[in-house]
Each structure stands twice: as structure tokens, then as C-alpha cells.
Amino acid sequence: MRSDGGLRLGTRGSLLARTQSEWVAEQVTKHTGRAVALVVIKTRGDKIQDRPLDQVGGKGLFTKEIEDAMLVGEVDFAVHSMKDMPGEAPPGVVITAIPVREDPRDALVGKALADLASGAVVGTGSARRRAMLLEIRPDLDVRGIRGNVPTRIRKMREGEYDAVVLAMAGLRRLGLGHEVSEPLSTEQMLPATGQGALAVQCRGDDAEVRALLSRVHHRPTATCIRAERGFLVEYGGGCSAPVACHAVLHDGELEVQAFVEGPDGTIWRRDAQGTAERAEEMGRSLAQTLKGLAGPD
């Protein structure tokens, strides 16, 4: 904590990461009166630009260096995209708040699905998106892409791709919602675990910061995330198989949907309904079911 009582927030340096962190900082200041200063930290995932992330392996590609800075007291808390979070946090670090979730859907930028010709090139860095897109349109040429959101849109405009698949949450947070050609429903493309949500981390033994950050916690979002992360932990947070889990809460009733592509390319989907109190249990149960159907990764 700074000498003036302000807080230091660790964040990645990408435009989206800084935008998300600035929004959380504003919420923390609004609810606590504490000033928040951003501290930019470069992660391993930021440094690797020559390979698709699903070929890199390892946990915490976008979180480890920031968590290390928290543990040694260089920053007081951190903000991450929830979908970047491994299933288990390192010792001494906790997710202490989950703010209200943004739109969790994926979206096409460039052209709508019906306007893409057979053989059209669509860019995505996600094995999950690739699997579900080819399930809908097996005639498309789905290719890998790296870079931040503006870079991917620029590559599409320069003709490398006919369209790119991006998260609605990121586009909206960056003020780029007007770029969306077509939002993809969760029936078409099930979102990644935690997509659209943010994880606010701090040291587990820092009671003062934990109390301050609790004021930006959104319980309905957190309930859905418990189910999704229950699935992630049970299925295996480090697995390379395309998997997804998404939960929606309606009047205390939780609906959880999950997806996995098996080693032979078969798509498996299952869903469950229950009370909010059973969120994590439902996620874990779906993971067990799909592991049994899809077989080993």
C-alpha cells in the first residue's frame, strides 16, 4: 500500500487489460474513497508472440508474474480476465472479488456468418472457437491469429482474414461494439469458462485490502463463476482439449452448459439445472460426465 493510503493495482500492459483495470480502479475508488494507481507488469504470455498459446502449455501464462509481484508486496491487488485464470491459484493468493459480468458471448467482426463464402478465412487463437465454428460451418478455413483486439481487427481489414472471432466483452469495454458484424449466441458458440468476467486478486493474508475489494463483488456473477470454475478444476485446468462451460442464473435457478471436443473430433454437450447453492457441484458433475464421454485429452 502506498504511503498515502492509496492502492497499487498490478495489470498487464495491453489496451484491454489496462481498460479493464482502470474500470475496476474507478469502482474501488467510488466505493472506498481510496486512490488506485496502475502498475504495468509484462507476463510470459505477453512475451510469446510467435506460437499459438495452446501450443505453449503451462499454467498462468497471463497471471504468474503479476501474482509473484503481489506476493512480494510490489502491488496490493490485481485484475485479470477470468478466462485467463488457471483452475487453482498459487498459495497465498486469492480471488477476493468478482465484479458484475460483461456480455459473455463471442462475436464475428468483418462479416456475419451467413455472408461468409465457402472457404472464407476466419481468424481465431482459440481451439474452442475453432471447434464450434467448424461444427456450424465446416466449409470455412479457420486459421490461427495472435495480437490484441485492435491488431486482430487491423489484420482482418488488411485482407489476411475475411472475419475474426472476438469476445463481445472485450469489444464493448474498448468501445468497439460498433465493429461487431454478428454476435454469436451461446447455442452457436458456448463461451469460455469465465468469459466476460473479471477476477480481482490479492494476498490471502491482507485483511484490509480484502475488505476494501469486497465492495465491488457481484454475488450473482460469482455464483455463475463457481459453477464454471468447478467444471474447469474437475476437467483439468491445464488440458489442451477444446472445452467450455457457461452458467446463467435466473431467479435463483442456475443453468449450466458445457462442451468438449474429443480427441477424434466428436463434439459432446451436456447441461444441468439446479439451485445456486449447488453451483460448484453442478460444474464438477458435468466435467465428470464429459470426461467419461470424450475420453482422455
Asked whether residue 88 falls in the same domain as residue 203, the answer is yes
Residue 129: exposed, middle, or buried by beta-carbon count in 10 A (0-12, 13-18, 19+)? Answer: buried
Q: Which of 76, 84, 103, 106 is catalytic?
A: 84
Range of the domain at 180: 106-184
Provide the domain count of the chain.
3
Instruction: Please list, in sequence order, all residues whose beta carbon lies within 8 angstroms of the beta carbon of residue 72, skipping any fewer than 6 positions away.
Output: none
Q: The domain spanning residue 23 has which CATH number?
A: 3.40.190.10
Q: What is the pTM of this model?
A: 0.89
Split at pLDDT 50, 70, 90, the class of 89 is confident
Asked whether residue 33 falls in the same domain as residue 50, the answer is yes
Instruction: Give residue-wise pLDDT tens across range 211-245.
Output: 999 999 999 999 999 999 999 999 985 556 799 99
Query: Does residue 254 lie within any of the structural domains?
Result: yes
Q: Which helix (H) or strand (E) holds 89?
A: none
Q: The domain spanning residue 235 has which CATH number?
A: 3.30.160.40
Asked whether residue 55 falls in the same domain as residue 16, the answer is yes
Asked whether residue 92 falls in the same domain as residue 118, the answer is no
Interatomic CA distance for residues 197 and 194, integer angstroms: 6
Query: Does residue 159 lie within any of the structural domains?
Result: yes
Instruction: Give residue-wise pLDDT tens across range 23-72.
Output: 999 999 999 999 999 999 987 766 555 555 455 455 566 788 999 999 99
Confirm if 75 and 65 have CB atoms less than 8 A apart.
no
Query: Does residue 150 lie within any of the structural domains?
Result: yes
Least confident of 51-65, 185-199, 271-285: 51-65
Q: Is 84 a catalytic residue?
A: yes
Split at pLDDT 50, 70, 90, the class of 282 is very high
